[in-house]
Amino acid sequence: MIRRYREILNIILNTDGYVKGNELAKFCSVSIRTTRIDIKKINELLEEYNIKIDSSVKKGYYLTDISKELLKENDIIRSVWDNEYIAQVPNTPIERQMYILLKLTMKEYISVEEFINKLYISTSTINNDINSIKKWLKENLNLSLNYSLNKGIKLNCSERDKRNIIGWIIAKKSNASSTIKNCYYLFNHQEIVKFTDKLFPIINVETKQYGYILSGHSSQFICNQIFIAVQRCEIGFNLEKDNEIHDKLLPVIIAIKEKIRTQLKVKLPEIEWLNLQQYFKSRQFIDGTALKNIETKEAIHITNIFFENVFEKFNINLAVYSKIKENLLLYVAPMINRLKLKHCIVNSIDENVIQTYPSEYKMAMEMLNVVKKELDLNVRLIELSYITMQLVSTKEVWNKKLKTIIVSDFDQSIISFIKNKIFTYLSEKISFCGFYTYQQFTFGLVENLEEIDFIITTATLSGRTKIPFVIISPTMEQKDFINLYEHLEELKLVNKE
C-alpha cells in the first residue's frame, strides 16, 4: 500500500466524527478527485477485514465504531500495510535520495548501475538524484560525494559524519513506518521499534530524574541513535577518536548507559556514549528542565546580546521578563550545539510562520546576526522559525497594550489632534477604549472603568481615581511625548513585577 493510503486511514481513524474530502486532499497535497480514488482503493483493500470507510455528502468521511475497533484490535495499519510500504521500492525523488544516502553509509563504493537496477530508474534520473544529494550534503553538513565512473559513488566523510547523516534522514519523518523503512534499508531488518520500545522508558525516567525534559521527538531521536550505534558497532563500523571532544560523560548519560547495560544487556564503548552525549546536548528541551543543566556562558552571552539588539532596534525590552529569558536560553543553548556540530532539528515546523508573523520574524533575525558575528555560525531558517514562534507565544507579555481612555474638555479639533498624534506613535503600546469629558469621568459615566489601565488627560485627575494617568497639553508638544512614553514604560515595568 502506498504511504498516502496509510495516512488517510490514520487521519480518519483518529478523528472523532467526520473528515471532509478537501481537508484530506490538503493534508496529502493532492486533488479532491485523487482523494476519492484513494478512498475507493483503500476500501477495496479493507474489504477482506470487513471494514469500510463510509461517507456523508454533507459531512465527509468516517469510520464506524466497529470498524475502528477492528482496525485497532488487529493492528491492520502496522502489521499489514506498513509491511507493504517498507518493501515498496522508493518511487519519489526524496525517497530515492534518502535511500541512496543510507546505502552509501554501509559500503565504501556503490556503482551507479546497482542503484539504477535496484530503483528501476534511468541514468539521467540517478544523475539528478546525485546532484540533489550533493547540494543537500553541502548545505546542511558541509560534506561531499566522490563520483568515479569506474568505482562508483562514495561518501567522502568519517563514520561520525555518517552517523549524523543517518540521524538527519531518520529525523526527517519521525513516524514509525518511515523509521522502520529506513532501518530496513540500513540493516535489512525491522527491529528498531522493538528495541526503542524497551529503551524509551529508561530514557524517560533517567532524564527526568536528572532534571531534563525532552520533547517527544527528541526522546525518540535519542532512542533511535542508540539503536543505530549498537547496530553499526555490531557490523564493525566504529567511531574514530575525536581529539576535539574533551567532554566527560554527564551523570544522566552515565545513568542511561548503566540501565541499558543491566536491563537490555547492551554494551557500547565510551567513545560511542560521548558521541551520543553530543546528540543529547543538541536536542530540544521543554519546560520543566533545570536551566542550570542546559545553559552555558556562551548561550547566556548570545541571548543577552540578542535582547540588547531587540531593545535597540525595536524598543522592546525582553530582558525584563524572566520567563522569556529562561525559555529562550532553553532553546539557544542546544541550538548552538546543533549549529556547531551540524546536528539536525527533529521537531520540524512549517517555515512559512515567518510570513505569518513578519514582525516577530524581524526580531528573530537579530539572532542570526548575533550568532554570525559572535560565533561565525549560520543560523538555519528552521531555527529562526522556532525563535519566531517563541516570540509569538510570549507576545501577550512583551507587547501587552494598555487599555487607555482620553479625558478632555476641549473641542473636536483638539480631540482628533490628540488621538491622531498618540495613536500614530504609540499604537503598539496602548489600546484606545474611548474619549470622555472631565464631567463624564467625574460623575462616573465611563463604561467599564475597572478594566482601564491608563488615562491620558488634559486636566489633573488627582484625588479622582487610582488609575495611573498622565497630563498632556492640548497641542501635544515634544515634552508631552517624552513624559507620556516614560509613564508607559514605568507602568509596564510595574505590571511585569
Neighbours of 31 (CB within 10 A): 12
Ramachandran bin of 401, using left for φ above 0, alpha for ψ from -120 to 50, beta for the remaining angles: beta
pLDDT class of 80 with cuts at 50, 70, 90: low
pLDDT digits (tens, 9 = 90+) for 423-465: 777 777 788 888 899 889 988 888 889 889 889 999 889 888 9
Q: Give percent above pLDDT 70 in the chain.
A: 94
Would you say domain 402-496 falls under CATH 3.40.50.300? no
Q: Are 107 and 82 in contact (CB under 8 A)?
A: no
What is the arithmetic mean of pLDDT over 146-155?
88
pTM for this structure? 0.71
Please report how the helices 216-235 and 176-187 are oriented relative to each other, as an axis angle in degrees rounded to 10: 10
496 pLDDT above the threshold of 60: no
| Range from 77-81, 166-170, 271-275 carrying the lowest mean pLDDT | 77-81
pLDDT class of 82 with cuts at 50, 70, 90: low
Give the per-residue pLDDT at 243.
64
Q: Are 143 and 156 in contact (CB under 8 A)?
A: yes
Q: Give percent above pLDDT 90 in the chain.
A: 54
- Count Cβ neighbours within 10 Å for each residue of 461-474 and write b for 16 or more, e otherwise: beeebebbbbbbeb
Neighbours of 80 (CB within 10 A): 15
| Range from 347-351, 353-357, 388-392 carrying the lowest mean pLDDT | 347-351
Give the per-residue pLDDT at 429.
77
pLDDT digits (tens, 9 = 90+) for 223-250: 999 999 999 999 999 998 876 667 899 9
First to last CA, the chain: 58
Q: Could you tell me the fold of the domain covering 295-397?
A: PTS-regulatory domain, PRD (1.10.1790)
Q: Determine the longest span between alpha carbons in the chain, in angstroms.
A: 95
- Of how many residues is the chain composed? 497
Give the per-residue pLDDT at 137.
96
387 pLDDT above the threshold of 50: yes
More confident residue, 306 or 75: 306
Bridging pattern class, strands 54-56 and 402-407 = unpaired
Retrieve residue 197's grid coordinates: 520500545
pLDDT class of 418 with cuts at 50, 70, 90: confident
pLDDT class of 90 with cuts at 50, 70, 90: confident
16 pLDDT above the threshold of 90: no
300 CB-contact burial (10 Å; exposed 0-12 / middle 13-18 / buried 19+):
middle
What is the arithmetic mean of pLDDT over 151-169?
95
pLDDT class of 29 with cuts at 50, 70, 90: confident
The CATH class of the 3-87 domain is mainly alpha
Give the per-residue pLDDT at 497.
47
Give the per-residue pLDDT at 433.
87
348 pLDDT above the threshold of 90: no
> What value does the mean pLDDT of the chain take?
89
| Range from 123-137, 142-156, 253-267 carrying the lowest mean pLDDT | 142-156
What is the Cα–Cα distance from 255 to 212, expressed in whole angstroms? 13
Give the per-residue pLDDT at 476.
87
22-26, 100-104, 389-393: which has the highest mean pLDDT?
100-104
CA atoms within 13 A on the CB side of 196: 23
pLDDT digits (tens, 9 = 90+) for 176-204: 777 888 888 899 887 888 899 999 999 99
pLDDT class of 481 with cuts at 50, 70, 90: confident
